[in-house]
């Protein structure tokens, strides 16, 4: 995914992975969408740095939305970590069904 390459190129991929894993572990058993994860992480340095890079991105698209980057990272984590599952859930931010992630034991 383009978001993963972009995060790697700006040096945020590893930190974003760690943050998402921590959020999912802290909310173990609860499904979280990328927008809900973003709400939890919005004051983190990683998200603030990502937003500053995305503000400079010239094209107007969903790519400029930090939640799309969180979703891309969480999807990859779900493929590589057996405790992280990819599912769907009604998003409390968008009030519609979205991809979601859950940390299971």
Residue 51 CA to residue 49 CA, distance in Å, equals 5
Average pLDDT by consecutive 10-residue portion of the chain (105 residues)?
93 98 97 98 98 86 90 98 97 96 94
The one-character DSSP state at 63 is G
Phi, psi of 29 (to 5 degrees): 85, -5
Residue 53 CA to residue 26 CA, distance in Å, equals 28
Q: What pLDDT score does 59 carry?
A: 74
Q: What pLDDT score does 60 carry?
A: 67
Q: Which one, of 91, 88, 67, lies nearest residue 102 by Cα?
A: 88
Q: What pLDDT score does 25 carry?
A: 98
Q: What pLDDT score does 84 carry?
A: 98
Residue 51 CA to residue 68 CA, distance in Å, equals 12
């Amino acid at each position: 995914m383009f978001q993963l390459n972009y995060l790697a190129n700006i040096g945020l991929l590893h930190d974003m992975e760690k943050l998402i894993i921590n959020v999912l572990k802290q909310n173990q058993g609860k499904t979280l969408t990328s927008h809900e994860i973003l709400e939890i992480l919005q004051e983190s340095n990683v998200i603030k740095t990502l937003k500053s890079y995305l503000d400079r991105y010239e094209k107007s698209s969903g790519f400029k939305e930090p939640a799309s980057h969180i979703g891309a990272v969480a999807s990859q984590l779900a493929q590589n970590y057996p405790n992280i599952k990819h599912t769907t859930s009604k998003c409390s931010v968008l009030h519609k069904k979205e991809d979601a992630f859950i940390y299971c034991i």
